A and B are shown apart, each in its own frame.
Chain A
Amino acid sequence: MSETQHLSYDVLNSLKDIMEDDFVLLIDTFIQDSQSRLQTLQQLVGGNDRDSIRIDSIRRDAHSFKGSCSNLGALRLASFCAVLESKALNKNVDDLGVDLAEIKEEFFIVRKMMLDFIA
């Protein structure tokens, strides 16, 4: 049951009120953050062994990413992260690659919408 909303403009607008001149900085920071996080996740998920430390790292990163997505109003993206986090918590490593691909795809959409918003 995923959220259908890619990006909540309510959230973005209230963030804009708070951040004022730093709003653009915030969007940029989020995009940078997310990109490097996705890279890390790619490495972790790509690894073949069922190393429990690796699985725990996936869980933590997914959890973190979920948090910052929700802060920025990227609700659908946040829910995908939640799925990944949950699977990692249950030590379920099947098809993690698929989940990650889904997350990447959603991120591209969100990124475009954000950049349009600040343009």
Chain B
Amino acid sequence: MNDLRSLKILVADDTDADRLILETIVRKEGHQVFSAKNGLEAVAIFQQQHPDIVLLDALMPEMDGFDAARQIKQLAGDELVPIIFLTSLQDTQSLVHCLDAGGDDFLSKPYNRVILKAKIKSFNRMRDLHRTMITQRDQLSQHHQRLLQEQAVAKQVFDNVAHSGCLNASNVRYFLSSLAVFNGDVVVAAIRPNGNMMVLLGDFTGHGLPAAIGAMPLASTFYGMVHKGFSMSDVLREINKKLKAILPIGLFCCATMIDFNFRRKRIKVWNGGLPAGMIHHKADGSVTPMRSTHLPLGVLPEKSFKDDFQFYDVSEGDRIFMWSDGIHESRSPDGDMFGEERLLEVFAQNREPETVFEEVLAKVKHFIGSGEQDDDLSMIEIRMDSPESLVHPNHYFIHKQQVSPVEWELRFEVKPTSFKSFDPLPFLLNVLTEEPDLRGFSGSLYTILAELYSNALEHGVLGLSGNLKKTPEGFAEYYAQREKLLDDITDGFVHIYFAYSANIDAGSLTLRVEDSGAGFDFNAHQGKAISTTGYSGRGIGIVEKLCRSVRYYGSGNKVEVVFVWINDD
């Protein structure tokens, strides 16, 4: 049988005979006994000896059992020291009095050894349980403190990442509680090279650090790409791809992203999984919702990702609101959810557009009332301003770009030693796509460059004939000849020239390629339909489709194409 370890037990009874009996019983059970004749002594001995259990006679002189019990409980503090009242009181009121004074149980006279033994055992179990609970409570408290610290750190890190953005622009107002950040809400905003502002409000699934951690790659991707002029589609695709790769199954990020074109007074909206944002029209106070039409970020693989947008025309002074579901899901003390209706009420009742933002927050806070929860709210308001009145530190280059075009030229020569081993195309394409406007056309530009360069090298410099490529056998022969000629070549060149000219609305890229070959009779080819079947000859057909113009000159060893585009967001 499991023997109880030896406990320290205090026995307090003013009757000598009774006390003697109890002391003996307790000692025989293997415990250490301390005796007191009255309440005062009992308290004094308790302070000195810290017994594990106390047996207290109810009626004693000097200080009775009730007062002694109260004092002992107070001295015990957090620790559970069971007090068993010794009494032959039987009326309910007296027994209640015992319990009220802090008694945990009674032992009636005449003392029964078996019962006392059982009670001691049971209370000891309770003491152990209690001690475990106190330890765990303290651990819990420590964990909670740590959690609060972590929240503060997360917010700090987030603020540092976000500071490169434009959340402090003059037409932006936002509210993001610490708890919201820690639970996975994120707001990022930046100005594109063309003057548009891009804003993304995201809400990662889950709570705490696992939710918040997704915000880091999202924010760094966003800021990295927007500043370089990538389009909203590009940014969304890249963020979706990254999140899909890093987030475990079942975790994703609901988000609304909006591109603000202040010149055209137009916004482009992509909403995947968040409650509808609102456009608040200054003219009549009406609201237009911007509903979710997509799956959240991090769910779909790249090829299935949909990056189509909703376009809205707005007026100067209109305010655009985005929020996570924190507002809609706030609960009143009764358990009601705030919901979209109440939100719309705020807009309906508002008289001064300037104050809608505060009114929403006030209404939510009032609704939550004295509820237990901290607020888990994220909300951002962007006002449609004219570009001139936009104030933001990173904004200096915007005006200039709007009016005067940007122009540059680039010349490049491929020399004989490079023909065989150096492919200039990736190199040149890299340079071209540093230009934000050209980034979206990298596929077309590569096609054009590839066709013109291979023609210049193979037909021009090496003098190979395209006729060989009309049959499969001819193809093999063609490339064998090509290899041999490249091995032997010692002179020649290919010049490549670019001229770029673009403004905020449109641009053109002129590309000229000149080779050191003999050329060909391009006039004879004019007018003939270019065959698009067969293995060769289709290259120029595609180039002609992609470019505004294709022109040969010189002896046919020079070609000029002009590629144009319009910036239509």
Contact = CB atoms under 8 A, between A and B. Distances in A.
A, B: real partners: yes
Contacts of B111: 71
B15 interface: yes
Interface string A24-63: 0110011011000000000000000000000000001001
Contacts of B113: 14, 18
Interface in A43-95: 60, 63-64, 66-68, 70-73
A103 interface: no
B20 A29 contact: yes
Contacts of A15: 21
Nearest to A15: B21
Given A63-B88, A70-B109, A26 B17 contact: yes
A19 interface: yes
Contact of A71 (B21, B28, B89): B21
A109 interface: no
A33 B19 CA distance: 12
A98 interface: no
Interface string B3-40: 00000000000111110110011001000000000000
B77 interface: no
A19 B315 CA distance: 100
A29 B21 CA distance: 11
Contacts of A25: 20
A70 B110 contact: yes
A48 B16 CA distance: 30
A26 B23 CA distance: 11
A33 B88 CA distance: 18
A101 interface: no
A115 interface: no
Given A18-B28, A22-B24, A68 B18 contact: yes
B59 interface: yes
Nearest to A14: B113
Chain A interface residue number, banded: 20 to 34
Contact of B20 (A26, A70, A73): A26
B357 to A, nearest CB: 72
Main DSSP-derived SS at the A contact region: helix
B120 to A, nearest CB: 15
Given A22-B20, A66-B88, A33 B110 contact: no
Nearest to B14: A64
Given A18-B25, A63-B88, A64-B59, A72 B14 contact: no
B17 A68 contact: yes
Chain B interface residue number, banded: 10 to 19
B92 to A, nearest CB: 15
B110 A11 contact: yes
Contact of B109 (A19, A29, A67): A67
Interface in B107-122: 109-111, 113
A70 B109 CA distance: 7
Interface string B83-127: 000011100000000000000000001110100000000000000
Nearest to B61: A60
B418 to A, nearest CB: 110
Contact of A33 (B15, B28, B59, B109): B15
Contacts of A30: 16-17
Contacts of B59: 60, 63-64
A40 to B, nearest CB: 11
B497 to A, nearest CB: 115
Nearest to B112: A14
B24 A18 contact: yes
In this complex, the member of B17, B24, B25, B87 whose beta carbon has the largest number of chain A beta carbons within 10 angstroms is B17
A19 B17 CA distance: 11
Contacts of B20: 19, 22, 25-26, 29
A22 B59 CA distance: 26
B109 A71 contact: yes
A25 B16 CA distance: 11
A25 B28 CA distance: 17
Nearest to A36: B16
B24 A67 contact: no
A66 B21 CA distance: 15
Contacts of B28: 18
Contacts of A73: 110
A71 B25 contact: no
B429 to A, nearest CB: 101
Interface in B506-538: none
B329 to A, nearest CB: 63
Contacts of B14: 64
Given A64-B59, A66-B88, A71 B24 contact: no
Given A67-B88, A71-B109, A73-B110, A26 B21 contact: yes
A67 B18 contact: yes
B112 to A, nearest CB: 9
Contacts of A22: 20, 24
Nearest to A37: B15
Contacts of A19: 20-21, 24
Nearest to B113: A18
Contact of B18 (A14, A60, A63, A71): A71
B14 to A, nearest CB: 7
A25 B88 CA distance: 24
A19 B21 CA distance: 7
Contacts of A32: 16
Interface of A: 11, 14-15, 18-19, 22, 25-26, 29-30, 32-33, 60, 63-64, 66-68, 70-73
20 contacts: A15-B21, A18-B28, A25-B20, A26-B21, A29-B16, A29-B17, A29-B20, A32-B16, A33-B15, A33-B17, A64-B15, A66-B88, A67-B18, A67-B109, A68-B18, A70-B88, A70-B109, A71-B17, A71-B110, A71-B111
Given A22-B24, A63-B88, A68-B15, 10 more contacts: A18-B25, A22-B20, A32-B16, A33-B15, A64-B15, A70-B88, A70-B109, A71-B110, A71-B111, A72-B110
- Lowest 5 A-B CB distances belong to which pairs? A30-B17, A67-B109, A68-B15, A71-B110, A70-B110
